[in-house]
Structure 1
């Protein structure tokens, strides 16, 4: 592929064994990291009582989600630190550091004493461990997106990049499967006493697998060539803010609605509908898990469509479809698992249209020398603000009996993202004249 203004993405015209190995290592390593990240949200109803003062269950769950949000707010810092580190030292180096931080924090949570043993130190240490996970997750997206997209052949960037989000979905799905299995087989007393600790311990052990896979693959040819030619940025973050501010703001707008909806439909919904309608938590968890599976399976298809027809049509379909369907699908949720499943499945289809293009369209905004920093910081900000606060706002408005406020906010976010998608340039190969070089 011809390089244009330093925005080279890939260099090899066909899928080779090197591409397949890189795709496997990047996907599985990312899957493990997002398994660790997601376990927290699924087990909040059971470990909240261990870390927070005795009180009503609603307050304890809300406190657990507040710590969840704090972890999200560390993601911009992780994006700034690990994104810059990856641009200076390589995509593989950034991904390896990230998974080590994530697995270590999971192990720490698994063995932390509770409020009854160490008092206020329990929620403080839980928050610190979650902050480390937030830093890890903040740097992970940019590094793994750049790694996968830079290893893609021309014309297949969205398809290859879709596996970044496939691995996010698969990791979250595996955490969901573990949660559903444990919810269905263990008494609530055992889940609250030690079951949640087992889940975090599994995540720590899986981190070793991801670390081994990432150490076994070389860095991307694009990064290696950029380094060998002496074109690495000494201060990637500064260069992004000085030379690419509009692209960074565009990434925030791209991600705003998608991250909030993902966190709502696939992560926090089971706990919320259990509190709102009385649906059994295990049933709601199973419905969310099946919806997440559909979301994950559809993403490579979405990536293929994005490479064939362009980024903007898929992204606009997501934003406008979600804006129209959000309130009606929520209204269909009753007291049965099937009602939860229908609502989640409809929104999973729209979200797959978004996720299949996401890694590629963000990587296409920035040159190789600052690509991971350019992706990581604005993505981390968007995820912190919109993804991190979505479960908190949903829980708080539900408790205050003004849930319509949350619904209005979500529809507004979808419309904002739709405007961004409408106004942004088409960055796929299809969006350029035949004589123009690929980015």
Structure 2
């Protein structure tokens, strides 16, 4: 009896350590893909001028630059198609397999871009191949978020699920910062000729081994307990996309509302704000880039804290407070920017903190509103359709609207519109923090009781 009593505390003490180790493995597997994706995204965006010189005829530099950004836009446009393929595929064959497949495709295309000969070497084949490779990257990226968010939500302990899933966005911010940092090093260390000759290839070649590491990590993990429960019970859906559209249209629209309220401030604050500062406020490019970097660093700290807070007080209070703050403070923030550099920094950091609260909660809340049978399909479609419609269009629409109205306050009301959409979606949703992800509709009555109980046992850890 005494032996059992003495061993029990040791076993109980080991449970949190095992739980923390499992969470770290899950976070690494889930976040590595978004890191690689955003690293590539930042590198391509910052090197757009150089890529235009390498891959498009030199007679018209403006046309070449427009072509590069056109290729950039096309990679966004194809993501919903990738979502429609990889989302249902993940619900049919598992999260692990789609996680491995999408990072293999993204990294392979990125490596090939880094090795691709330019226009001077192979002529028109160069821009054609660039377009094809960017399409492959965009297609694979359409499956990244849904796979990773489903995997993290289903792998994290129930009471720490918000914290676990929030690291998906930490991976995004880290990838964005890493891509920016590599560009800064290249710009400082190489002259224009070196950058055009070979320097532009470095970020794409660096991303390839990162992708290999991610592939190895993802290939070694087990699939999630929830998905294994579907397999054990023989209830893996044969047509999850049809099931999603037939039975979960409401959830799909709600998730889209949450995600649109994330996409627009993300691109407005972290990408468009740099252009806004230089073009409309008269600040230097160095100052604008520094503020963007500081906002990203702030997000690295705040996003997991807001994810953890949502575990404690609920998804709804955190997300509703954040979108309400975005609604009330967006226009005053852009008014504050007019007062000078100090006002711009104060407003930028305020908007960055609001964005961090949204980033810390939207993904886990979206994951929790879908049943396991259609979770990856729902997340993939909602995320990528809203990204294609609202994310990549932010800089273009801001430029057009400011030109048409003559008012530099346009970004404020534009953010307010999507804050309202996010609020409507959030207020229509029930609180889901701490909920079981495996629902009665996911598993038939003939499933063994031990399979049925597995997620509940894991949640108590």
C-alpha distance after superposition, 1:172-214 (max 9, x if no partner): 2221222233334333454344332212221123211111111
Residue of structure 1 aligned with 2:433, choices 425, 428, 434: 428
Give me the whole-angstrom Cα distance separating, in 2, the residues matched to 1:277 and 1:196: 30
Residue of structure 2 aligned with 1:352, choices 356, 360, 375: 356
Q: Highest relative contact order (Cα 8 Å, sep 6+), 1 or 2? A: 1
Give the gaps of 5 or more residues in structure 2.
Answer: 1-14, 437-454
Residue of structure 2 aligned with 1:79, choices 77, 83, 87: 83
Q: Post-superposition shift, 1:424?
A: 2.0
C-alpha distance after superposition, 1:386-411 (max 9, x if no partner): 11211332355567785655554333
Partner of 1:413: 418
Partner of 1:223: 227
Partner of 2:243: 239
Partner of 2:324: 320
Give the gaps of 5 or more residues in structure 1.
Answer: 1-11, 432-436
Give me the whole-angstrom Cα distance separating, in 2, the residues matched to 1:97 and 1:355: 25
Q: Post-superposition shift, 1:53?
A: 5.0
Give me the whole-angstrom Cα distance separating, in 2, the residues matched to 1:157 and 1:263: 26
* 1:290–1:341 contact (8 Å) kept in structure 2: no
For residue 157 of structure 2, give the secondary structure of its aligned residue in structure 1.
coil
Instruction: Name the CA shift for 1:414/1:82 in 2 (closer, same or farther; >3 Å).
Output: same
TM-score normalized by structure 1? Answer: 0.86
Give me the whole-angstrom Cα distance separating, in 1, the residues matched to 2:61 and 2:329: 31
Residue of structure 2 aligned with 1:165, choices 152, 166, 169: 169
Q: Post-superposition shift, 1:116?
A: 4.8
Partner of 1:150: 154
Asked if residue 371 in structure 1 is aligned to residue 375 in structure 2, the reply is yes
Alignment of 1:384-403 (within 5 A): 384-397=388-401, 402=406
TM-score normalized by structure 2? Answer: 0.82
C-alpha distance after superposition, 1:220-267 (max 9, x if no partner): 111111111111011111111111011011111111131122123223
C-alpha distance after superposition, 1:317-374 (max 9, x if no partner): 2222223333443455589986664443222100111111122111111111211111
Give me the whole-angstrom Cα distance separating, in 1, the residues matched to 2:25 and 2:250: 34
Partner of 1:210: 214
For residue 47 of structure 2, give the secondary structure of its aligned residue in structure 1.
helix
Give me the whole-angstrom Cα distance separating, in 2, the residues matched to 1:242 and 1:378: 15
* 1:270–1:281 contact (8 Å) kept in structure 2: yes
Asked if residue 111 in structure 1 is aligned to residue 148 in structure 2, the reply is no
Partner of 1:286: 290
* 2:331–2:411 contact (8 Å) kept in structure 1: no
* 2:96–2:222 contact (8 Å) kept in structure 1: yes
Instruction: Name the CA shift for 1:411/1:53 in 2 (closer, same or farther; >3 Å).
Output: farther
Asked if residue 260 in structure 1 is aligned to residue 264 in structure 2, the reply is yes
**Which shows bigger deviation, 407-416 or 137-146?**
407-416
Q: Post-superposition shift, 1:64?
A: 3.4
* 1:316–1:418 contact (8 Å) kept in structure 2: yes
Q: Post-superposition shift, 1:67?
A: 2.6
**Which shows bigger deviation, 409-418 or 116-125?**
116-125
* 2:326–2:415 contact (8 Å) kept in structure 1: no
Q: Post-superposition shift, 1:299?
A: 1.0
Instruction: Name the CA shift for 1:55/1:108 in 2 (closer, same or farther; >3 Å).
Output: same
Q: Post-superposition shift, 1:417?
A: 1.7
* 2:314–2:431 contact (8 Å) kept in structure 1: yes
Instruction: Name the CA shift for 1:214/1:33 in 2 (closer, same or farther; >3 Å).
Output: farther
Q: Post-superposition shift, 1:170?
A: 1.6
* 1:80–1:376 contact (8 Å) kept in structure 2: yes
Instruction: Name the CA shift for 1:28/1:289 in 2 (closer, same or farther; >3 Å).
Output: same
C-alpha distance after superposition, 1:288-324 (max 9, x if no partner): 1221111122111101111111112211222222233
Partner of 1:200: 204
Q: Post-superposition shift, 1:57?
A: 6.4
Query: Alpha carbon RMSD of aligned pairs, Å?
Result: 3.1
Partner of 2:48: 44
Q: Post-superposition shift, 1:270?
A: 3.2
Give me the whole-angstrom Cα distance separating, in 1, the residues matched to 2:399 and 2:68: 11
Give me the whole-angstrom Cα distance separating, in 2, the residues matched to 1:23 and 1:148: 7
Partner of 2:443: none
For residue 430 of structure 2, give the secondary structure of its aligned residue in structure 1.
coil
